[in-house]
């Protein structure tokens, strides 16, 4: 992917790669005394996808908007790599930080290509370079540039517009992507597809991403790590999905992740060799026995067992050869270790 700014124009505002984000004792207090975020310290590693979740009004959006300085913190420091953003020029800063919001906010009277090219245009890229970058980005988010590039936003579905929002945020190759409820305005089916595509995209571009959501399933599906906040931007827990579900750090988190967390844990726990029983002598298994590859989630394995009404599944190695049996009983009787995936 082309990430170098044109030497004649872009200046220091384009950066390559992904940057770590550090919040150091960051606080936002409004004049009326409301503490939206209280002394929050967090580190997001370069290339990591961190999800902020918590009840309405707990300060999620405020945290996000302090990172790109749409909101000024009352105190504390926010670092992008080792640069203090509270000292950076806000306009230049925002050109290096992609920002995706619910309902996208595309410019209605501009074509999709022009919308995607917004930041490159502000950075003074040449027309031809903007065109080719817009095409590349539309491709990346699964929209054919020849079909969608010349259209206007109202000629797209909600899910397609959302993808354009992501393409636009990535256009100038930002070091950080901030996403505020990016998928919540689309229906559940389109949403699941967008989430899946988004994970594929992230595997390709490896940006540092902070994403706000109300939806715990989305958080578990997308997050490398999840931040749970309570009122006043108080940090309740910062952990991998598996740890969060398996080891809630407080009564608040336990309640927040809810009663169906056993199911969610299955979804984030892979099949590992220690869960398997040996194959029968000679390796023969009944023809109708379902097969699941090692590394699939226990949730997927259980779903296969239930839909085929089987007690056991044949588990195969990466090369496809059977290596053991996984029983329904074994899945349901798992005594979870403290953290099956790692903190």
Ligand X SMILES: Nc1ncnc2c1ncn2[C@@H]1O[C@H](COP(=O)(O)OP(=O)(O)OP(=O)(O)O)[C@@H](O)[C@H]1O
Q: Does 107 bind ligand X (CB under 6 A)?
A: no
Please, what is the minimum distance in Å from the beta carbon of residue 214 to ligand X?
6
d(CA 117, CA 125): 9
Please, what is the minimum distance in Å from the beta carbon of residue 243 to ligand X?
22
Which residues are CB-neighbours of 336 under 8 A, at least 6 positions away? 246, 265, 269
Please, what is the minimum distance in Å from the beta carbon of residue 299 to ligand X?
27
CB 267 within 8 A of CB 297: yes
Q: Does 115 bind ligand X (CB under 6 A)?
A: no
Find the binder of ligand X among 13, 22, 61, 131 (CB under 6 A).
61
Find the binder of ligand X among 10, 19, 21, 36 (CB under 6 A).
36
Tokens representing residue 80 in the block: 């992008």
Q: Provide the sign of the torsion angle of the four alpha carbons 60, 61, 62, 63, taken in this order.
A: positive
Between 28 and 133, whose beta carbon lies closer to ligand X? 28
Between 63 and 143, whose beta carbon lies closer to ligand X? 63
Between 55 and 295, whose beta carbon lies closer to ligand X? 55
Please, what is the minimum distance in Å from the beta carbon of residue 182 to ligand X?
13
Find the binder of ligand X among 2, 8, 32, 82 (CB under 6 A).
32
Q: Does 131 bind ligand X (CB under 6 A)?
A: no
HSE at residue 280, side-chain half, CA atoms within 13 A, is 7
Helices 188-205, 158-170: inter-axial angle, 10-degree rounding: 20
The residue among 202, 175, 181 whose CA lies nearest residue 51 is 181
The residue among 231, 175, 183, 137 whose CA lies nearest residue 16 is 175
Site for ligand X in 206-265 (CB under 6 A): 214
Between 73 and 117, whose beta carbon lies closer to ligand X? 73
> Residues 147-167, buried b or exposed e (16+ Cβ, 10 A)?
ebbeeebeebeebbbbbbbbb
Between 18 and 235, whose beta carbon lies closer to ligand X? 235
Between 36 and 211, whose beta carbon lies closer to ligand X? 36
Segment interacting with ligand X, rule: CB under 6 A, options 28-36, 94-102, 188-196, 329-337:
28-36
Segment interacting with ligand X, rule: CB under 6 A, options 59-67, 104-112, 197-205, 333-341:
59-67
Segment interacting with ligand X, rule: CB under 6 A, options 53-61, 192-200, 278-286, 333-341:
53-61
Please, what is the minimum distance in Å from the beta carbon of residue 58 to ligand X?
4
Between 23 and 36, whose beta carbon lies closer to ligand X? 36
> Residues 252-273, buried b or exposed e (16+ Cβ, 10 A)?
bbeebbeeebeebbbbbbebee
Between 46 and 71, whose beta carbon lies closer to ligand X? 71
Q: How many binding residues for ligand X (CB under 6 A)?
A: 12
Please, what is the minimum distance in Å from the beta carbon of residue 27 to ligand X?
12
The residue among 189, 202, 19 whose CA lies nearest residue 100 is 202
Residue in the structure block whose two tokens are 């074994």: 330
Rg value, the chain, Cα:
23
Find the binder of ligand X among 15, 60, 148, 219 (CB under 6 A).
60
CB atoms within 10 A of CB 208: 24
Q: Does 58 bind ligand X (CB under 6 A)?
A: yes
3-state secondary structure of 69: coil
Round to the nearest angstrom and report the end-to-end CA distance of the chain. 32
Find the binder of ligand X among 22, 62, 68, 111 (CB under 6 A).
62
- Footprint on this chain of ligand X (rule: CB under 6 A): 30, 32, 34, 36, 56-62, 214
């Amino acid at each position: 992917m082309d990430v170098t700014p044109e030497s004649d124009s872009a200046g220091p505002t384009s950066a390559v790669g992904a940057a770590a984000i550090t919040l150091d004792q960051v606080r936002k207090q409004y004049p009326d005394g409301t503490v939206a975020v209280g002394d929050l310290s967090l580190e997001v590693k370069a290339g990591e996808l961190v999800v902020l979740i918590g009840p309405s009004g707990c300060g999620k959006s405020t945290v996000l908007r302090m990172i790109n300085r749409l909101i000024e913190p009352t105190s504390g420091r926010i670092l992008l790599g080792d640069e203090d953003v509270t000292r950076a020029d806000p306009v230049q800063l925002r050109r290096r930080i992609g920002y995706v919001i619910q309902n996208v906010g595309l410019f209605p009277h501009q074509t999709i290509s022009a919308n995607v090219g917004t930041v490159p245009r502000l950075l003074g890229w040449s027309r031809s370079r903007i065109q080719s970058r817009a095409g590349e980005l539309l491709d990346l988010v699964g929209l054919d540039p020849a079909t969608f590039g010349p259209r206007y936003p109202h000629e797209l579905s909600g899910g397609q517009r959302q993808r354009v929002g992501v393409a636009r945020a990535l256009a100038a190759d930002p070091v950080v992507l901030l996403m505020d409820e990016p998928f919540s305005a689309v229906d559940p089916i389109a949403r699941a597809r967008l989430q899946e595509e988004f994970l594929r995209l992230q595997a390709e571009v490896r940006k540092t991403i902070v994403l706000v959501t109300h939806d715990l399933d989305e958080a578990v599906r997308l997050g490398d790590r999840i931040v749970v906040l309570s009122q006043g931007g108080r940090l309740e827990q910062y952990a991998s999905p598996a740890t969060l579900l398996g080891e809630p750090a407080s009564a608040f988190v336990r309640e927040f992740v809810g009663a169906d967390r056993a199911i969610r844990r299955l979804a984030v726990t892979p099949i590992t060799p220690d869960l398997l029983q040996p194959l029968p002598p000679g390796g023969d298994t009944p023809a109708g026995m379902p097969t699941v590859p090692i590394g699939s989630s226990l949730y997927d394995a259980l779903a296969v067992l239930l839909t085929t009404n089987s007690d056991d599944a044949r588990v195969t190695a990466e090369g496809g050869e059977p290596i053991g049996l996984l029983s329904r009983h074994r899945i349901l009787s798992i005594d979870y270790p403290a953290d099956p995936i790692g903190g």
